Amino acid sequence: MKDIVVANTEKELLRDKAVQYRNYATPDATIILLRAFHEGRGLSESSQALLRRLMTETPTGLKRIKGILPKGTVVVHKTGTSSTVDVDGVAAATNDVGLVTLPNGNHLAIAVFVSDAKADMATREAAIAKISRAVWDEWSK
């Protein structure tokens, strides 16, 4: 596992922040990638099966997209969390993207990115969970 390095100076914090904003994806691009994954494009069948299993069984992000969805809802997802916090205490990124299986068997691609937030982790994760539940409620009708 990669060690987390804590910047000691304001200069290091600003440098780390600059790197954070060069290493990103957009929600729209992520939805396109999720759709390709769902449609079986870009990976062999065995690689797709492995990735789907890993993204379904991941222990991370249980309070994000999966957070307040109905028990038993299948969610294939990938979290992202920035360890970069700038000099103002702003977390650059707390994200979760995935495919949610709706009760009718259809799938919903969702990407929720919380960026540049001063809120604590619990609040950021709760925001992702509430957005995911609202989307699920709307598309489950």
Q: Give residue-wise pLDDT tens across range 81-114.
A: 886 555 677 888 899 999 999 999 999 999 999 9
Q: Could you give the 3-state DSSP secondary structure of residue 12?
A: helix
Q: Region 37-52: what's the mean pLDDT?
A: 95
Q: How many residues does the chain have?
A: 141
| DSSP string across 40-83 | T-SS-HHHHHHHHHHHHH--TTTTTTTTTSPTT--EEEEEEE--
Domains assigned to the chain: 10-139 (3.40.710.10)
- pLDDT band at 2; cut points 50, 70, 90: very low
Cα(136)–Cα(139) distance, rounded to whole angstroms?
Answer: 5
pLDDT tens for 112-125 read 999 888 899 999 99
Dihedral, CA of residue 51, residue 54, residue 60 and residue 65, to nearest 10:
60
Which residue has 């079986």 as its token pair?
A: 40
Return the amino acid letter for 69.
L
What percent of the chain is predicted at pLDDT more than 70? 80
User: Does residue 7 surpass a pLDDT of 60?
Assistant: no
Q: Are 31 and 98 in contact (CB under 8 A)?
A: no
- pLDDT band at 22; cut points 50, 70, 90: low
User: Does residue 3 surpass a pLDDT of 60?
Assistant: no
Cα(18)–Cα(74) distance, rounded to whole angstroms?
Answer: 36
pLDDT tens for 68-83 read 999 999 999 999 988 6
Who has greater pLDDT, 21 or 140? 140
Average pLDDT, the chain: 86
User: Does residue 1 surpass a pLDDT of 50?
Assistant: no
Q: Are 129 and 73 in contact (CB under 8 A)?
A: no
Q: Region 43-61: what's the mean pLDDT?
A: 95
Q: Which is nearest to 123 in space by CA: 89, 96, 86, 94? A: 94
Other Cβ atoms within 10 Å of 15 Cβ, number: 13
Return the amino acid letter for 138.
E
Return the amino acid letter for 11.
K
Predicted local distance difference test score (pLDDT) of residue 25: 84
For residue 141, what is the enclosing H or E element?
none
